[in-house]
Amino acid sequence: MSGKLSIPPAEIRAIASAAVEFLASYFETLAERPVVVPATSQSIRQALDEPLPQDGADFQALLDTLRDVISRYSRHNSHPRFFGYVSSPGTPITAVGTMLASALNINVTCWRSAPSGTELEHLTINWLKEMLGYPAAAAGLLTSGGSMANFAALAAARSAKAPANVVRDGVAAAGTRMCVYVSEEGHFSVAKAAGMLGLGEANVRSVKTGDRLQISLADLDRLVQQDLAAGHLPFCVVANAGTTATGAFDPIGDLADFSRRHNLWLHVDAAYGGFAALAPSARHLFARIGEADSVTLDPHKWLYLPIGCGCVLYRDPAAARAAFSHGAEYTRTIGLERDEAFAFWDYGPELSRPFRALDLWLLVKYAGARQLGEAIEQNIACAKYFEQLVRSSADFEMLAAVELSIFCFRYAPPGFQGDLDALNERILVALQRGGSTYLSNARVHGHFALRGCVLNYRTTLRDMEIVLDDVRRAASSL
């Protein structure tokens, strides 16, 4: 086909050159931009809206729209003072990698469909296991994110611990309620996965936490004994390796011992905190991670990859195959054996899968694990420094200890007699609209918290000082 679907090499080079110039300029000016420009849904829609285009447009005109509308009204997660949620800043090398992966357009379903893509995913999964200290014999695959990784892990746990073939016959075949245990600080994707898998959200037990917001072993034991007495089947406990709200880190070793005593599948949700294993100051937290039956990781969080790259690891690959292995005539491998007959759909819910491993491979090869670890260590140092600033101030207070790189605090001016929750909510809105610093929110020990997560290799100690200045400025404007 001719025209703008199949363009000559010279035009490809011109388009790519203009796109790369846009990319370079974007990264060059990040710190000078507001994190977000206030806008409304209607104003953005009006700037983009048009009837279905019947004829093609000039690429430069498309870049102009990208610059003047799409980029301008985006929330810039790459900004050094974007601390909202757990969002990766991305890297220039993976921005190029995504373009290359799109050009190759490999569908990584199995070895037959993607020989090199499959081998590259195996290689990068091995690297992730090495970073974490997970057994070399374990298996895994890259997913769309942590929620899908948690779903896959819970499916494997359900299959492994059910007293019947629930994949074939449904969860009713278990003959009893199958119960999952996760701390009250755990991610909502665990309950959501339980609902989708037919286990039922009502059978996900919320375990109390202690002062540092870690799971209470005593309350966990109480809930398990209560379910056993009721004739239910406890089958899985989820440990948090860095909660989303505060970064709390559950005691993996103690939970491994508990799980072994009660024949529970131990899953570790390390979507946020897993790659802290590369930082010397946090490495000790992962001493017994190898005893977990499954682990969720998100390279698109603290490994700085672009959105769309999660990971699930299974200590016993057979458990994953029992949960997911399936086939049809149109997927049957013919003339291939052993490694060449490998299929990713035997280990997770997806059939069509993008070439997620290319960005991961490019980043680790280009930067090296040592430099990635140094960047993560610097993120932790920034959060710890912020905690020191707050504790030495007269008008702020910490609401949770900094465990990794998440900080939760509030503005509490001396002598203030009003509602601190309401005051800090108003400060958060003013702060987000201001564009210099972007925080999110959490509820910690019943209090509204201003919450930030340092997840950017561009962030410096000076940025942490600016956060407090910005909060004070936002407060004074109210």
Report residue 123: phi and psi, to 5°: -60, -50
Question: 47-56, 331-340, 342-351: which range is least confident on average?
Answer: 331-340
Q: Which amino acid is at 424?
A: N
% pLDDT > 90, the chain: 95
Looking at residue 1, its pLDDT comes to 47
Rounded Cα gap, residues 271 and 334, in angstroms: 37
Q: Tell me: the pLDDT tens digits for 222-239? A: 999 999 999 999 999 999
Residues 407-465: pLDDT tens digits? 999 999 999 999 999 999 999 999 999 999 999 999 999 999 999 999 999 999 999 99
Q: Residue 75: pLDDT band by 50, 70, 90 thresholds? A: very high
**Calculated CA dihedral for residues 20, 25, 31, 37, nearest 10 degrees:** -90
pLDDT attached to residue 331? 66
On the question of pLDDT at 336 being above 60, the answer is no
Domains of the chain, each with CATH number or no CATH = 106-354 (3.40.640.10)
- pLDDT score of 3 more than 80: no
Q: What is the mean pLDDT of residues 390-402?
A: 98
Whole-number pLDDT of residue 337 = 66
Q: If you average pLDDT over residues 354-370, what whole number do you get?
A: 98
Arithmetic mean of pLDDT over the chain: 96
pLDDT digits (tens, 9 = 90+) for 156-215: 999 999 999 999 999 999 999 999 999 999 999 999 999 999 999 999 999 999 999 999
Are 314 and 294 contacting, i.e. CB atoms less than 8 angstroms apart? yes
What is the per-residue pLDDT for 290?
Answer: 98
